[in-house]
Amino acid sequence: MNRRLVSRAVLCLTVILITGSAIFALLVTPH
Q: Judged by CB under 8 A, does residue 15 bind another protein?
A: no
Q: Judged by CB under 8 A, does residue 20 bind another protein?
A: yes
List C-alpha distances in Å: 26 to 8, 20, 21, 30: 27, 10, 9, 8
Q: Which backbone phi and psi does 2 adopt, to 5 degrees?
A: -75, 140
Q: How far is the CB of 25 from another protein (least distance, A)?
A: 4
Q: What angle do CA 9, 12, 22 make, to 5 degrees?
A: 145
Q: Judged by CB under 8 A, does residue 24 bind another protein?
A: yes
Q: Judged by CB under 8 A, does residue 8 bind another protein?
A: no
Residue ranges binding another protein (CB under 8 A):
1-7, 9-10, 13-14, 16-17, 20-30
